[in-house]
Structure 1
Amino acid sequence: MPSKILTKQKKSASKVSGRDKLLLATGNLLRKYGYFGTGLLQIVKESKTPKGSLYFHFPGGKEELAGEALKLSAREWFIHLSVPIQSAKSASEAVKKVCEWIARDIESSGYEHGCPVATVALEAANTIDSLHLIAKENYQEWERTIAMILRKDNIPNPTALSTLILSSIEGAILLSVSYRNSTPLISVGKLLSKIISSERES
């Protein structure tokens, strides 16, 4: 009996590992090439998993896999960004630190990785409803989080300002990746920090 239980545990761990490999590989590829630029064979090769494993874990095929990978990538990115946010003493400092962290993240990828949601949102969200919903929900969550940080710091009009901040950061990410230079992100971070500070003082 113990040997059978151990065998089941090993199989279970193997399945989880294979699923995670597929999700991580797909998330990286989507971030770099987008939905239509990422093929199933490419995912299988990148994840080093059998093709049958892909359909076992994601019977809905590419759309289901891409959706789950997008959720995971966005969630992990948000967790990473929470570190500079929590270490900041004010909302203005938090925005500046977030832009600096994203700049370093993009630089370390050789300017191949931008926002984990943006590429798919721009390319496939208009034609694939499930991906549109995931992109929309993530952007709305980020916007609400920014508004909450502003509200805690007694910044007026937090909802409108959160839209400005998110839009500015997303645009700066696109420019930094396009220019292969993190200057747009650093500049936008400093400017947004000043805007938030001035809003608090007014």
Structure 2
Amino acid sequence: MARRSDARQRMVEAAKQLIRQRGYEATAFSDVLKLSEAPRGSVYFHFPGGKAQLAMAAAEAHAHDQVVIIDQAAEGAGSAAELIERYVDLGREGMIASEYARGCGIAPLVIDGAAQQSADMAETSRRAFAQMIDRLAFHFIVLGIDQAPARVLADAVVAGVEGALVTARALRSPAPFDAVRAALVSLADGGAPKGSRRGRA
């Protein structure tokens, strides 16, 4: 039986899953409670700010998950290109496994207009994406790319994967991930400004 003590975490995980599948507007508290098996009375106990507060917690959890995935992809990677290949492939595999039903846990807050209506949600969305970009840039720097181009490459990776999530769902095909992977790897291998990659011939 589900424990009451972990109701908040289960609700956040359920909200993250539902928002990735349905978007922000189409995700209701009743659906979150059903999926999480959390007590009905726990909704406003844990989230007195209502649905917006729950969605922000879900977005933060998604960003944390992505940072963990980025770190895993970077472990043992010999180059920025290899890190990119691993990260994009993980997204590709996840999309196929979900039967093209899974999207981003942050983007719906922006796309559905919630972030435009709430300064807190706008800041949460900005901070969540920034965490992912910063983590990628950190690893690119460790792998020998100078700071400025590392940041540009990290921005491109996040933007590319976000776009692939949308188009792969629409096309029900992994092809967008393949295209993004090829373009980003090419950028990492030869597209950085001359002299920006340290330690490479």
SS at match of 1:144: helix
RMSD (Å), alpha carbons: 1.9
Aligned residues with identical type, % of pairs: 25
Long gaps (5+) in structure 1: 1-12
How far 1:137 sits from its partner (Å)?
Answer: 0.4
Structure number with higher helix proportion: 1
CA–CA separation in structure 2 for the residues paired with 1:193 and 1:76: 23
Amino acid aligned to 2:179 = S
Larger Rg: 1
Change beyond 3 A, Cα 1:16–1:76? farther
How far 1:51 sits from its partner (Å)?
Answer: 1.6
How far 1:75 sits from its partner (Å)?
Answer: 1.0
Long gaps (5+) in structure 2: none
Which residue does the alignment assign to 1:22? 11
- Of residues 39, 44, 50, the one that matches 1:55 is 44
- Of residues 167, 176, 194, the one that matches 2:168 is 176
Q: Would you say 1:78 and 2:67 are equivalent positions?
A: yes
CA contact (8 A) 1:31 1:120 kept: no
CA contact (8 A) 2:59 2:128 kept: no
Amino acid aligned to 1:191 = A
Pick which of 163-172 and 181-190 moved more.
163-172
Q: Would you say 1:191 and 2:183 are equivalent positions?
A: yes
CA contact (8 A) 2:4 2:39 kept: no
SS at match of 1:126: helix
SS at match of 1:37: coil
How far 1:146 sits from its partner (Å)?
Answer: 2.1
Change beyond 3 A, Cα 1:58–1:127? same
TM-score, length-normalised on structure 1?
A: 0.85
TM-score, length-normalised on structure 2?
A: 0.85
SS at match of 1:87: coil
How far 1:63 sits from its partner (Å)?
Answer: 1.5
SS at match of 1:38: coil
SS at match of 1:142: helix
